[in-house]
Amino acid sequence: MTAAVSLQGIHQTFGTYTALDGIDLEIAAGEFIVLLGPSGCGKTTLLSILGGFLTPTQGRVLFGDRDMTHVTPKARPTTTMFQDYALFPHMSLLDNVGFGLRMRGQSRAARHLKAMKMLEMVGLEAKAAARPHELSGGQRQRVALARALAVDPEVLLLDEPLGALDLKLRRQMQDELKAIQRRVGTTFVHVTHDQEEAMAVADRIVVMNQGRIEDAGPPQDIYLRPKSLFSANFMGEINLIPAKPVPSGVQTALGRLAVIAETTGPQMLCIRPENLGLSGDIPLGEARLTDAAFFGTHHRCHFTPTAAPDLILIAHLPQAGHPTVGTLHQLYATSATLLPQGTPA
């Protein structure tokens, strides 16, 4: 059972501090959506509002067509996976996972059966009788997931669930989360500050900054066609070159380029490092290689253009090459985006 969620005109203030400044968001049923942003952007506040732990100062929260803005967490069709898991230390895993079912009045046999099924889904059925403190961080996280899903919520809220895990475990858990979500079909709302994690799991990413939504869309759209400079910067390393619109293109320090701007006014040319290299559609002129570091999958190189010695461009050169510091090269971009020049956050 799953539902679409609608957030309408959400404002949240704490005294004089505005945490959320007009959030409108439609979440489709069965979607895996990620709220992405730096700390303080309001993503966790928004999650709390979804979960019913906070009532918004203004605005409405709808599940399907039911207005649940003022409904308590107990009565909402959501469950939350907390950042510290909040597993009950004095109960076995089986009792933990079955807790929500117990609160709904299910018999012991019925809820043990369902709890075991959930533990099987996360691969921990063998430890059903163990206590949380006997488990590793990754295992506890899986139990928390099982417990939250055991009550068949319409929406599952995840509050930076993978923050405490090391890199390898995090990658593994990202895959598992995605797989489980596909299997149960529940709407997942996942909060994180890690853009790689967002791209790994999300059907759609919502980039937030200072209480507002900066950008929203599938990972590919957000990464390759960011709608704001903040979003562009946040999703990964990016080269920013000031540009001025001229007939059939833009004028930059590297010369006139055939990229069309969609708005008037000063622009910023955005080129991802992996779209910058020694061949491509958009010629950028001559540049000197000033630094190179091998990153396994590529060489991360610093270039200083001859035409604009104050500019530093970062390019990812192929793994097989041997970039040498001091050499001159012709640089090309394979794709670029233009964004209106505002203040990048």
Partner 1 sequence: MASIEATEARRAAAFVAPALLWVLAFFIIPFAVMIGVSFARLEGRTVVYGLSFDNYLRFFTEPSLFKGLTISLEITVVVTVISVLLAYPLAWIIAMRVPARYQRLALMLAVLPFWTSYVVRSYAWLLVLGQNGVINKALLALGAIAEPLEIASTRSATIIGFVHFFVMLLTLTIYSNLIQLSPNYARAAADLGASAFATFRHVILPLTLPGVVTGAFLTFVLCIGDYITPQILGGNNELTLPQLIMLQLGRRGDFPMASAMSIILMVVVTLAYFASARWLKLDRV
- Contact positions vs partner 1 (CB under 8 A): 51, 53, 72-74, 78-80, 82, 84, 86-90, 99-100, 102-104, 131-133, 147-148, 151
Q: How far is the CB of 17 from partner 1 (least distance, A)?
A: 17
Nearer of residues 2 and 78 to partner 1, judged by Cβ: 78
Q: How far is the CB of 133 from partner 1 (least distance, A)?
A: 4
Q: How far is the CB of 143 from partner 1 (least distance, A)?
A: 12
Q: How far is the CB of 96 from partner 1 (least distance, A)?
A: 9
Q: How far is the CB of 149 from partner 1 (least distance, A)?
A: 11
Nearer of residues 87 and 257 to partner 1, judged by Cβ: 87
* 151-to-99, 190, 318 alpha-carbon distances in Å: 9, 18, 49
**Those residues with Cβ within 8 angstroms of residue 178's Cβ, 6 or more apart along the chain or in another chain:** 32, 200, 201
Nearer of residues 74 and 183 to partner 1, judged by Cβ: 74
Nearer of residues 105 and 296 to partner 1, judged by Cβ: 105
The one-letter amino acid at 211: G
Q: How far is the CB of 78 from partner 1 (least distance, A)?
A: 8
Task: Provide the token pair at 100.
Answer: 């929500």
Nearer of residues 100 and 226 to partner 1, judged by Cβ: 100
Nearer of residues 27 and 135 to partner 1, judged by Cβ: 135
* 148-to-5, 123, 279, 299, 320 alpha-carbon distances in Å: 18, 15, 50, 43, 47
Closest by CA to 29, choosing from 72, 62, 54, is 62
Q: Token pair 């069965």 is at which residue?
A: 30
Q: How far is the CB of 116 from partner 1 (least distance, A)?
A: 17
Nearer of residues 186 and 252 to partner 1, judged by Cβ: 186
Judge contact between 234 and 38, C-beta under 8 A. Answer: yes
Task: Provide the token pair at 246.
Answer: 């001229």
39-75 as b/e: b if 16+ CB within 10 A = eebbbbbbbbbbbbebebeebebbbeeeebbebeeee
Furthest CA-CA distance within the chain: 76
